[in-house]
């Protein structure tokens, strides 16, 4: 039996309005809010939706047909989605994949994530590119109510969203020969898979102090991806300062931004972020170009670091995509070398971390 159509609206903070129909869960009072961004991947919608880095955000998929191969728990990147909602042009009416155990609409309902379909996502994406990512509201409520909700939504600036996604207690994964402590700032399952092949990984909450980490006598420390404004995650930054020079450190995404901050660097918010699976990045020491998966709204300011060199640069806009410290064993990248699914060009970075740990360092 076909579900009845539920007319819905998406209203941006600047008043721009888009018509559609409600999918997924029904939000409280018919209103869901968040910061609206767009992602350009052609596949991997489940991995995107379950990436904790989207906490506080509404994900717009630019690819017009979403949900065609369904959902499987094997592709979840975290224990549940942390995004505020999903916007699509057309939701697939029927899933078609032998691995699928549910369809996307059922998945959204199960996890209480609202969505809106039938939206002109091309127009929405062009608007975000010109005006920047901004707060928005969507749902089945009337336009006046949604406009008021969009205007009241604070967005992600200055908010510590890591506190929402980090684990409550430490846990261990993997059986590799080395010992790694991984800060859970919103860590993805695929990252743990790659680390777990090389090390026994103890995942710890974002509030874990440097002393607590060093007491575990790890061979290396990993700083994970995560959501929101790095300037708001002050406690973890202080812990990183206490780790530098004591143990090799590798950071990805938010971990990259926090490492740079701990080194005295500055971060800033990009107009509409990098969200997609085809960003070209140049590795400066070899000149090789990698096709990368990216998901971030903030970046490290070029020229703000005096003790680290830029190792990778985004060829689309020149944004700093990686750094390597000169005087301590630490490096990081802004993009996602684990990329599941996605390009695999950058998976060598896990080997570089393994090599850094093999070379040792103060412990």
Please say whether the dihedral angle defined by the alpha carbons of residues 59, 157, 34 and 272, taken in this order, is positive or negative.
Answer: negative
Q: Which of 192, 197, 137, 161 is nearest to 8 (CA)?
A: 137
Active site residue 336: yes
Q: What is the end-to-end Cα distance of the chain in Å, rounded?
A: 63
Identify the active-site residue in 21, 47, 253, 290: 253
Q: Is 70 exposed, middle or buried, given 0-12, 13-18 or 19+ CB atoms closer than 10 A?
A: buried
CA atoms within 13 A on the CB side of 325: 23
Residue 186 and residue 78 in contact, taking contact as beta carbons nearer than 8 Å:
yes
Residue 150 and residue 21 in contact, taking contact as beta carbons nearer than 8 Å:
no
Identify the active-site residue in 127, 256, 275, 336: 336
Residue 3 CB coordination number (10 Å):
9
- C-alpha distances out from residue 116 to 7, 77, 145, 272, 318, Å: 9, 22, 17, 20, 34
Question: How many Å apart are CA 270 and CA 57, to the nearest integer?
Answer: 15
DSSP annotation of 178: E
Active site residue 338: yes
Identify the active-site residue in 21, 202, 290, 338: 338
Active site residue 167: no
Residues with catalytic roles? 253, 336, 338
């Amino acid at each position: 039996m076909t579900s009845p159509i539920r007319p819905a609206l998406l209203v941006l903070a600047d008043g721009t309005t888009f018509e559609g129909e409600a999918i997924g869960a029904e939000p409280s009072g018919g209103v869901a809010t968040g910061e609206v961004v767009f992602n350009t991947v052609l596949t991997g919608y489940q991995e995107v939706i379950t990436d904790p880095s989207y906490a506080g955000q509404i994900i717009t998929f630019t690819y017009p047909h979403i949900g065609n191969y369904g959902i499987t728990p094997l592709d979840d990147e975290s224990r549940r989605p942390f995004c505020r909602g999903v916007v699509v042009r057309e939701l697939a009416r029927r899933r078609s994949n032998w691995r699928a155990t549910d369809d996307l609409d059922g998945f959204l309902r199960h996890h209480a994530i609202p969505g809106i379909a039938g939206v002109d996502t091309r127009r929405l994406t062009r608007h975000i590119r010109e005006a920047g990512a901004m707060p928005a509201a969507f749902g089945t409520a009337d336009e006046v109510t949604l406009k008021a909700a969009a205007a009241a939504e604070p967005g992600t600036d200055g908010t510590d969203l890591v506190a929402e996604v980090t684990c409550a207690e430490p846990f261990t994964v993997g059986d590799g020969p080395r010992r790694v402590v991984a800060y859970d700032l919103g860590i993805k399952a695929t990252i743990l898979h790659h680390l777990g092949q090389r090390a026994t990984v103890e995942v710890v909450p974002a509030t874990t102090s440097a002393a607590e980490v060093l007491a575990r006598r790890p061979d290396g420390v990993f700083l994970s991806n995560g959501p929101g404004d790095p300037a708001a995650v002050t406690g973890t930054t202080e812990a990183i300062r206490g780790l530098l020079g004591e143990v090799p450190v590798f950071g990805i995404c938010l971990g990259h931004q926090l490492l740079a901050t701990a080194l005295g660097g500055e971060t800033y918010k990009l107009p509409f972020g990098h969200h997609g699976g085809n960003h070209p990045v140049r590795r400066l020491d070899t000149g090789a170009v990698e096709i990368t998966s990216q998901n971030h709204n903030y970046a490290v300011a070029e020229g703000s670091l005096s003790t680290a060199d830029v190792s990778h640069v985004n060829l689309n806009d020149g944004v700093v995509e990686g750094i390597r410290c000169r005087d301590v064993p630490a490096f990081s990248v802004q993009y996602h070398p684990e990329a599941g699914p996605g390009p695999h060009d950058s998976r060598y970075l896990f080997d570089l971390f393994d090599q850094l740990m093999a070379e040792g360092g103060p412990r």
